[in-house]
Structure 1
């Protein structure tokens, strides 16, 4: 059986032709790069929110030091949360739960707990 010489030539031309290989490689690798990029952005947002909540807890504890009793400390911390948390871009003040109370172990110390509902 005789082979068509045109098919042999076209197959070798197809194998040697490099036009479009960059587009194919990009189509294969672009989803991975985009996924990696979006993952880094999402982790950065999470890390920023986590750091903001830690900073809010530290600032609230510093604010609570000025209180003379547990009620005044709680009022100072609540006032701090209502007025100063708006400066943190990744934290919604309505989702923060803050509690300032005297330490059970040592009555001369104050414990400030901050929790954030990230849902």
Structure 2
């Protein structure tokens, strides 16, 4: 019985605790999990933002292609507005209520027509995903220029 008590002396108990490797995976996970989750949420947030940005650019490009069939600036503006009203809801991550579209002849070159699209991305779910994550601007602005009359 004296031998059994000798094993549980404070010195031996501390030494056994120091060299015990059980639970190291849990400690490593507790240290690395927050960083991993932060990276994962950052990738998801920026992926959604880049998806919305790409959709806004595609809306501008498709609207400019639609506008090329107009004879004057007013008709081209009507074609652009009609295209956006009918089709903008089909693009991912874009709510038509947040779109502002401008279509006009280029001031730099009269043979070009410019479609500018601004999207207020405040309704995207990424802004509430993680408050400490640095995010880009909530306004996505893209434009597309197309030459009027072919060559």
Structure 1 outlier segments of 4+, above 4 Å: none
- Distance of 1:41 and 1:50 partners within structure 2: 14
CA distance in 1 between counterparts of 2:30 and 2:109 reads 63
Q: 1:7 aligns with which of 5, 10, 14?
A: 10
Query: TM (normalized to structure 1)?
Result: 0.91
1:47 paired residue among 41, 50, 69: 50
Q: Cα deviation per residue 1:41-93 (whole Å; 9 max; x = unaligned)? A: 00100111111111111101101101111111111101111111111121111
Structure 1: segments with no counterpart, 5+ residues: none
Q: Which has the higher strand share?
A: 2
The gaps in structure 2 that reach 5 residues or longer are: 1-5, 123-151
Instruction: Give the aligned length.
Output: 116
Residue 64 (str. 1) matches residue 101 (str. 2): no
The structure with more helix, counted as a fraction of residues: 1
TM-score, normalising length: structure 2: 0.72
SS at match of 1:104: coil
Which of residues 84, 88, 91 is equivalent to 1:85?
88
What root-mean-square deviation, in Å, do the aligned CA atoms of Structure 1 and Structure 2 show? Answer: 1.4
User: In the alignment, what sits opposite 2:108?
Assistant: 105
